[in-house]
């Protein structure tokens, strides 16, 4: 069975990770989850653990078995890497090689599998030149950007920045895994 390594960062749309996992599992795709510390304040890791039937990883310093190097071994088990939702913070870290939490450290280890990132943030943040440079850098580094949609955002603004529809994300991931 193919396996997706799903990174979840602290966007208000982090709750949609539960639906992403559920939809992937219905397609017979295993999911292993990494959450940033702040994302655990939006959706409990236990929710994603129950849905994925896998441990949810949050701490780069925790190694379940002494023989494991968790952030490396997860990548070796994965057929595809997806960060959804991806905040401005995690995008900036990944684009600049910063590895200071489990998700950003693991992202640096991803090398020979397809890599996708689905931004989710306020329109002003998304259109900021620094954000656009970071996204361009990630594309240059081999990431496929799953474009956010234009919508009414959690802050009340209307514009581009909402996480792509779960169905769109699932369709893109399924098509990529079929290629393998």
Active site residue 155: yes
**Strands 149-152 and 158-162, how do they pair?**
antiparallel
Residue 156: exposure state from Cβ atoms within 10 A (0-12, 13-18, ≥19): exposed
Q: Which of 155, 157, 158, 171 is catalytic?
A: 155
Overall size of the chain counted in residues: 180
What does residue 115 show for φ and ψ, rounded to 5 degrees?
Answer: -125, 130
Q: Longest C-alpha distance within the chain, in Å?
A: 49
Which residues are catalytically annotated? Answer: 155
């Amino acid at each position: 069975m193919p396996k997706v390594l799903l990174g979840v960062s602290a966007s208000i749309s982090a709750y949609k990770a539960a639906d992403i996992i559920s939809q992937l599992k219905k397609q017979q795709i295993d999911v292993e989850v990494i959450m940033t510390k702040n994302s655990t304040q939006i959706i409990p890791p236990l929710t994603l653990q129950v849905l994925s039937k896998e441990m949810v990883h949050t701490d780069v310093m925790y190694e379940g078995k002494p023989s494991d190097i968790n952030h490396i071994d997860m990548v070796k088990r994965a057929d595809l890497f997806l960060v959804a939702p991806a905040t401005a913070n995690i995008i900036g870290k990944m684009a600049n090689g910063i590895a200071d939490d489990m998700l950003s450290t693991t992202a640096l280890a991803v090398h020979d599998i397809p890599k996708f990132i689905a931004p989710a943030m306020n329109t002003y943040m998304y259109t900021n030149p620094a954000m656009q440079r970071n996204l361009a850098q990630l594309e240059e580094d081999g990431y496929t950007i799953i474009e956010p949609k234009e919508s009414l955002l959690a802050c009340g603004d209307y514009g581009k920045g909402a996480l792509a529809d779960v169905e769109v994300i699932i369709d893109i991931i399924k098509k990529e895994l079929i290629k393998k």
